[in-house]
Amino acid sequence: MTFNEILQEVPQMTVEERKQLLAALLNSLNSTTTAKKTRSLLEFKGAGAYAREDIDAQEYVNQLRSEWDHRP
């Protein structure tokens, strides 16, 4: 059913059915907008560690990548 077809059906609905339709639409809208995951500050632990050691950012990334080769 298209959006326009649905709109044509609305005037034929009872007031109670319109309220139920509106509630369902609002509920579906709220569930999609509030589904965003909040981030924890703890997820950023260690980010920017190179900045405290006066190491170039690219050098720091290269160092991390070289450590990956030695992990089991």
How far is Cα 41 from Cα 62, in angstroms, rounded to an integer?
Answer: 25
H or E segment to which residue 11 belongs: none
The per-residue pLDDT for 60 is: 79
Query: Whole-model pTM?
Result: 0.42
The per-residue pLDDT for 17 is: 94
Q: Is the Cβ–Cβ distance between 49 and 60 less than 8 Å? A: yes
The per-residue pLDDT for 38 is: 77
| Distances, alpha carbon 26 to alpha carbons 19, 21, 29, 30, 58, in Å | 10, 9, 5, 6, 47
